[in-house]
Structures are given as structure tokens and as C-alpha cells.
């Protein structure tokens, strides 16, 4: 049996080393079968096996399935062999990742995605998920009494949160559920506040202090003391936070804008915190809202959510506005209801890492655009606005590199030793080109989506997207597709993303994070065996 497998391995290696690509199915099976041998009898794997798979991945112009099989088999070898062969397999995958970017994008993406599937022993904490019992009715004075607050001033709404200053650089926040939202999501936020309050980090991360009112975290506020937004209901939770809790890194309001150095500090610290928490299995799943197509979300299986992990990524919807009010700020990470305890396969973690990094880099782009937020869309002659002069290329390059290093350090616990897995000069140039010119503003409001709405919802939808009010009453629902200008988007409607270089960078960084964590785990396990 062992002899048969060894003969099979030698024959399979010969097929790949001698470039016998004539029969694609045969080569495809050869690539995959070497992985099967590595899984079944890893002691039969040799350096020649790794060389044969490397040879395939370095050959241009082959079928997608061949590359897929070779990358999958190299990863299977890395999962099952030890010592020098493990190091050789890992080194080969790293080398291919670095050298294929730009020269063979199919190979680059396949190898990155396969690396993202390496098994990691990351399991989030078992956070006690409290269930909502009876929800008491309370008045605002009850909140102040239970929180020990004697004086509060400057009451205002920030989004759906009622905020008041309470002295000592602190604020009281009463956060309401939106209409149609179950109050359980508010309780989930409080549960994570309670869980994270005992964690410590070497950088600033202010976790708000939750307040119970009448013995429970969730309540119904009878008397909202000032005029409230129309999109909330009266279910709410309460917490005390630092006064900088609502200080956003990329605020477009001139009086709220951070200096470049302040912005760098917040972004680098946020990258570190996200990487560090993700390494513990505590994942912030929504730094900003990422959509491919928000209008058709109700009838799409993916609810319109953006998926950077696709082999051919679609356009990114309304990227600049998506960055408004991100869930990071001067106090650290925010909006704890989006935390999840990760206990799934590594591929899921790879996606989360990519989402976090993509969000951070989009926020970087928005910081420069927000120097002049009025410079958006089309000019008076109908031409796309050119805002490239708002970008500082050297600062952009430093931010991209710093975010990668800080995230990596938080996730791995070690500083990266290699170079970036993408061309930083080219990426920064392309980001300025695509984020600085508003070429893609259109969104098509399909008849099918119109007919899913009531007349009131239809009119409200158009109004929220800037459709001229004098035309809304004259538009007949379901008569025709309607063109809306909701950009800037990264890519045309129903087209691919216009900045694939950004997605390639996300792939490379995310896969290197998973790979480095896997190497660390395997070397630790090996050393532990000698204790």
C-alpha cells in the first residue's frame, strides 16, 4: 500500500514537473492527488513534491482549476508535514504570494484564499447572552438617579443617542432602538461592555460603563426630555462614556476635523485593537457598512452586503458616505452591538480580517476627501468632480503601511518581518485616481424594487437619495427604472469594482495574517512537544 502510494506520488510529480499540460483533467487530478497523499501519508511527501506544485503555480496561462488544485495541495502539505518540509511548503506559498501579485492575478488570489483557510485555534469567549425579560417603563429622572448623576447639561441627540454632559469629561448616553429593531440588539451591546470592561490593552480603549435602571439594562423611556428623531422607538439602554466617545477620526465638519497626526494615531490604534481583539476571537463585524447593492438588498441572498472575497469583486456602493460615523474613534472601538464571539472555520476569520482592513483603508480615503465635502459628484458642466488634489500621497502611503503593521502586530503579537504583499506606490496612486474622481455616481432603481414598496415608502426612498422633490410627486411607481445619483461608488452599476488593487492588497494582508498566526501556532506546538 505504502509502495503503491509512493509510486503514485512519483508519477504525479513527473506530470507536473515535465509540464505535461495536454490533458487538463489529468493535471488537475494530479495536483489534487498530491494533497490527498499529504493528508493520508504525510511521511511520503518530499521536497520534489513541493517543487512540482510550485512549478505548476509559476507557469503562466494555465486553467484556473490547475492553480486551485496546486495551491490547495501545498496548503494540505503545510497542514500535515513537519520540520524542514513544513518550512519549505510555507516558504513556497509565501514566495508565490509575493511574486504573483501583478504578474499572475489568478494565482495570487487563489493562493491568498487558500492561505486564508489554514486552521487557526482561535475561539472567542463564551459571552453570556442575556435574554430580555420584562421591560420596565422609566422616566428620565430614574436614569439620573440610578446613574448617580446630580447635574446634566447640553442635552442633544447624536444619531439615535440622547447625550448629555455630566462633568469630569464624561457623558451620559441613552441609546434608543430604531423603529422595527428588536431591543435585543441593544442588550447585546451592553453584554459586550460588561464583558470587555476587565480587559486591558497597552493602548487607549475606553469601554463605557453600563447603567441598570430599575434592575435591568433595557427599559422604555416614557419622557424623552428633548425632541427626538422620528426613526427611533422608546426602548433604550444607558451608559456613561468619555466625552470623546463621539469624536470620529474622519469627520467632514471643519470644526471637528482631526489633524493628520491625530488621525494617524486613531487609525493605527484602531488597527492594533482590531487585530488584538480578533486574535482573541472577539470580532467587530461592522466598522462601516459595506454594500455592493443596497437598493436590491431585499431580494438578494446576500442582502446586498459587499464580499471582497469573490474572485471577481463587484462595485462598492457609496463608499464615501459609508465612511461617515465609523465605529472607531478617539476612545477606541465603538458600537459594541456589532461584536461577535468567533467560533467558526478560519475562512470566516479571513473574511472578517479583510472586512476590517478594507473598512480602515476606505476611512483613510474619506479623510482626504472630507477636507472639502462639498466637492462631490458632478461639476456645473456635468463632468465628474476631480478632487485628487485633496490627497497627500506620501501621507496616504504611510497610513496604508502603518495600518497593516499595527493590525499585524495586534493579531500576531510580533512585528512583520517581510515587505508588503503588494505594490504600495501603485496602490496609493490608484486609490487617489479612483477615490479622487467621481466617475461612478449612478444607481438604477429597478421597477421590481419599486413595486415591493408602498407609495409612501417609494416617495421616502427617493427623497432620502436626493431625488428632486418637485419631481417626486410626478413620478409613477413601477412605470420605469429610475436613475439615482447616490455615489461616489467604486465601479459602475452592475459592474466590477474600479479599484481591484485595493482588494488585492486586502487579500494579501489578510492571508499573511492568517499564515503568520498559523506558523506561530505550529512552531509553538512543536516546541511544546519537547517540554
Which three cell numbers, joined as nine digits, stand for 510?
A: 489578510
On the 0-12 / 13-18 / 19+ scale of CB atoms within 10 A, 316 is buried
Residues 433 and 293 in one domain: yes
The pLDDT tens digits of the residues spanning 361-411 come to 999 999 999 999 999 999 888 899 999 999 999 999 999 999 999 999 999
Residues 417 and 286 in one domain: yes
Lowest pLDDT segment from 167-176, 237-246, 280-289, 306-315:
306-315
Residues 216 and 313 in one domain: no
Angle made by CA atoms 464, 470, 471, in degrees to the nearest 5: 80
161 vs 309, more confident: 161
Range of the domain at 239: 124-245
Residues 265 and 408 in one domain: yes
Residues 268 and 158 in one domain: no
| pLDDT value of position 27 | 61
**Boundary residue ending a domain (115, 132, 148):** 115
**Boundary residue ending a domain (212, 245, 278):** 245
Please report whether residue 66 resides in a domain.
Answer: yes
Q: Quick one: angle between helices 424-436 and 393-412, nearest 10?
A: 120
- CA dihedral (62, 507, 348, 183) in degrees, to 10, reads -140
Please report whether residue 490 resides in a domain.
Answer: no
Residues 402 and 279 in one domain: yes
| pLDDT value of position 14 | 66
Please report whether residue 168 resides in a domain.
Answer: yes
- CA dihedral (404, 407, 412, 417) in degrees, to 10, reads 20
**291 pLDDT higher than 80:** yes
448's CB contacts (< 8 A; 6+ apart) are 299
**Boundary residue ending a domain (93, 115, 137):** 115
Residues 107 and 136 in one domain: no
- Beta-strand (E) ranges in 119-194? 137-138, 153-158, 161-165, 170-178
**6 pLDDT higher than 80:** no
Please report whether residue 469 resides in a domain.
Answer: yes
Give the pLDDT band of residue 297 (cuts 50, 70, 90).
Answer: low
Residues 80 and 181 in one domain: no
Please report whether residue 491 resides in a domain.
Answer: no
Per the listing, cell 469567549 goes with 125
Q: In this structure, which long-range contacts are made by residues 152-155, counting pairs with CB atoms below 8 Å and at least 24 apart in sequence?
A: 155/225, 155/226
**100 pLDDT higher than 60:** yes
Please report whether residue 166 resides in a domain.
Answer: yes
SS3 113: helix
Please report whether residue 492 resides in a domain.
Answer: no
Give the pLDDT band of residue 294 (cuts 50, 70, 90).
Answer: low
> Is the separation of the CB atoms in 81 and 45 below 8 Å?
yes
**525 pLDDT higher than 80:** no
If you average pLDDT over residues 107-131, what whole number do you get? 88
The pLDDT tens digits of the residues spanning 319-352 come to 999 999 999 999 999 999 999 999 888 889 999 9
Residues in the chain: 531
**312 pLDDT higher than 80:** no
If you average pLDDT over residues 295-299, what whole number do you get? 57
| pLDDT value of position 69 | 87
**302 pLDDT higher than 80:** no
| pLDDT value of position 3 | 60
Which three cell numbers, joined as nine digits, stand for 261?
A: 497626526
> Is the separation of the CB atoms in 479 and 437 below 8 Å?
no
279 vs 131, more confident: 279
| pLDDT value of position 340 | 94
Give the gyration radius of the chain's Cα atoms: 26
Work out how many domains the chain is built from and give that number: 4
Residues 394 and 427 in one domain: yes
Residues 434 and 450 in one domain: no
Residues 108 and 38 in one domain: yes
Residues 251 and 238 in one domain: no
CATH, residue 197? 3.30.200
Please report whether residue 453 resides in a domain.
Answer: yes
Amino acid at each position: 500500500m505504502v509502495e503503491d502510494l509512493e509510486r503514485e506520488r512519483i508519477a504525479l510529480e513527473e506530470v507536473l514537473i515535465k509540464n505535461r499540460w495536454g490533458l487538463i483533467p489529468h493535471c488537475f487530478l494530479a495536483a489534487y492527488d498530491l494533497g490527498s497523499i499529504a493528508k493520508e501519508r504525510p511521511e511520503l511527501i518530499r521536497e520534489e513534491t513541493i517543487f512540482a506544485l510550485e512549478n505548476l503555480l509559476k507557469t503562466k496561462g494555465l486553467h484556473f482549476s490547475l492553480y486551485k488544485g496546486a495551491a490547495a495541495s501545498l496548503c494540505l502539505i503545510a497542514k500535515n508535514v513537519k520540520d524542514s518540509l513544513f518550512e519549505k511548503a510555507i516558504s513556497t506559498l509565501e514566495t508565490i504570494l509575493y511574486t504573483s501579485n501583478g504578474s499572475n492575478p489568478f494565482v495570487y488570489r487563489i493562493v491568498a484564499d487558500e492561505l486564508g483557510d489554514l486552521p487557526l485555534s482561535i475561539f472567542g469567549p463564551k459571552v453570556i447572552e442575556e435574554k430580555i425579560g420584562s421591560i420596565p417603563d422609566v422616566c428620565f429622572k430614574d436614569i439620573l438617579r440610578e446613574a448617580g448623576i446630580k447635574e446634566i447639561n447640553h442635552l442633544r441627540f447624536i444619531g439615535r443617542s440622547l447625550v448629555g454632559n455630566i462633568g469630569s469629561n464624561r457623558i451620559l448616553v441613552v441609546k434608543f432602538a430604531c423603529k422595527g429593531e428588536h431591543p435585543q440588539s441593544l442588550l447585546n451591546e451592553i453584554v459586550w461592555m460588561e464583558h470587555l470592561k476587565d480587559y486591558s490593552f497597552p493602548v487607549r480603549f475606553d469601554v463605557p460603563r453600563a447603567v441598570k435602571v430599575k434592575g435591568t439594562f433595557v427599559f422604555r423611556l416614557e419622557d424623552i426630555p428633548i425632541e427626538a428623531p422620528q426613526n427611533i422607538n422608546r426602548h433604550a439602554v444607558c451608559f456613561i462614556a468619555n466625552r470623546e466617545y463621539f469624536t470620529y477620526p474622519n469627520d467632514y465638519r471643519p470644526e471637528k476635523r482631526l489633524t493628520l497626526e491625530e488621525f494617524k494615531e486613531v487609525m493605527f490604534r484602531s488597527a492594533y485593537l482590531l487585530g488584538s481583539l480578533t486574535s482573541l476571537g472577539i470580532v467587530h463585524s461592522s466598522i462601516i457598512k459595506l454594500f455592493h447593492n443596497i437598493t436590491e438588498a431585499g431580494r438578494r441572498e446576500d442582502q446586498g452586503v459587499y464580499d471582497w472575497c469573490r474572485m471577481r469583486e463587484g462595485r462598492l456602493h457609496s463608499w464615501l458616505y459609508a465612511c461617515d460615523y465609523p465605529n472607531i474613534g478617539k476612545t477606541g472601538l465603538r458600537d459594541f452591538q456589532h461584536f461577535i464571539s468567533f467560533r467558526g472555520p478560519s475562512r470566516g476569520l479571513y473574511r472578517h480580517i479583510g472586512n476590517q482592513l478594507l473598512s480602515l483603508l476606505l476611512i483613510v480615503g474619506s479623510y482626504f476627501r472630507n477636507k472639502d465635502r462639498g466637492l462631490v459628484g458632478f461639476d456645473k458642466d456635468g463632468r465628474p468632480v476631480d478632487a485628487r488634489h485633496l490627497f497627500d500621497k506620501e501621507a496616504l502611503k504611510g497610513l496604508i503601511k502603518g495600518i497593516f503593521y499595527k493590525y499585524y502586530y495586534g493579531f500576531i503579537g510580533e512585528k512583520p518581518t517581510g515587505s508588503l504583499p503588494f505594490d504600495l506606490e501603485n496602490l496609493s496612486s490608484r486609490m487617489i485616481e479612483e477615490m479622487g474622481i467621481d466617475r461612478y455616481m449612478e444607481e438604477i432603481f429597478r421597477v421590481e424594487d419599486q413595486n415591493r414598496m408602498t407609495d409612501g415608502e417609494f416617495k421616502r426612498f427617493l427623497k432620502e437619495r436626493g431625488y428632486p422633490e418637485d419631481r417626486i410627486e410626478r413620478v409613477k411607481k413601477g412605470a420605469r427604472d429610475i436613475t439615482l445619483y447616490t455615489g461616489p461608488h467604486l465601479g459602475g452599476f452592475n459592474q466590477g469594482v474600479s479599484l481591484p488593487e485595493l482588494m488585492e492588497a486586502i487579500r494579501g494582508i489578510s492571508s499573511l495574517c492568517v499564515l503568520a498566526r498559523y506558523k506561530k501556532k505550529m512552531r509553538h506546538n512543536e516546541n511544546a512537544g519537547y517540554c
